[in-house]
Amino acid sequence: MKLIADSGSSKTDWRLLYEDNSIEQLKTRGINPYLISGKELLKCLKEDFDGIDFPTIKDIYFYGAGCGNAENKEKINSVFSDFFNCDSIYVEDDMLAAARASCGKDPGISCILGTGANACQFDGIDIQDRMVSFGYVLGDEGSGNYIGKTTLKAYLEDEMPHELAKKFKITYPDINLEFTLEQIYHKPYPNRFLAQFFQFALAHQRERFFFELISNAFQLFLEKSVLKFKNYEKLPIHFIGGVAFNANSIMRMVLSRNNLQAGNFMENPIAGLTLYHKNQH
């Protein structure tokens, strides 16, 4: 049996892949090695899997945010070795998860467009190149953070059309300059605060103002990532994450405008990862 996991800071999706190709799924709290100690992680696993009797696991494939460096990989590996009865444990970052889920074993460019933004060029086996990712403060163009921030600024700077601004005020009655600055500079998780406003932009994406705002954000993302990769015009461009998935009609238009080939659009990678490992021999 194989155990496959895709994890962010808030939740982890698990798939149990049995020898007969049947699949069982589970969902637990998120595992980010930057945010949790080994002792705390072991405690979480015991609580989250309480009452579940796992059969012998041949391989565990864990993909997660924060798993790009050796120290964090070792933390996950060590705790999993103590908790699970398994033969082998593989810990990789969320960018490789996106690449394997969206590209399978074929060359392509895989993009993450959710709360944050990232992209890589994949040759079917390994990641060959990655975009420079600065996070929500300096980068994340095209992401939920970026579009949410741009939406919020347009409202506070009185640049949003009047009727849309009225709807925004009804949706977010507490939003004003003082409250916004408090949330961004003095409260935890300012990225989550900014990203929430993407939902307003998404709900009104057919309005010209937000259609242009989102398409401009997507164009900027492509310029910061895809258009810098070698031979990008010959490869399909795949997307994983709620932003690209839910605004895929706009993204497809932007890709077409840049003479780029649209690939797969997935809300999350777990189904694609399961298929990838199911076909792995």
Tens of pLDDT, residue by residue over 62-116, are 998 888 889 999 999 999 988 888 889 999 998 999 999 999 899 999 999 988 8
User: Cβ distance 279 to 16 under 8 Å?
Assistant: no
* pTM, rounded to two decimals: 0.85
Tens of pLDDT, residue by residue over 169-200, are 999 999 999 999 998 899 877 878 888 999 99
- The mean pLDDT value for 277-281 works out to 76
Domain locations in the chain as residue ranges: 2-100+270-278, 137-214
* Inter-residue long-range contacts of 69-74, CB under 8 Å, 24+ positions, other chains counted: 72/33, 72/34
Identical fold, 2-100+270-278 and 137-214? no
Tens of pLDDT, residue by residue over 39-55, are 998 998 889 888 777 77
CATH code for the structural domain at 137-214:
1.10.720.160
Report the C-alpha gap between 155 and 197 in whole angstroms. 11
Given a cut of 80, whether residue 281 has pLDDT beyond it is: no
CATH code for the structural domain at 2-100+270-278:
3.30.420.40
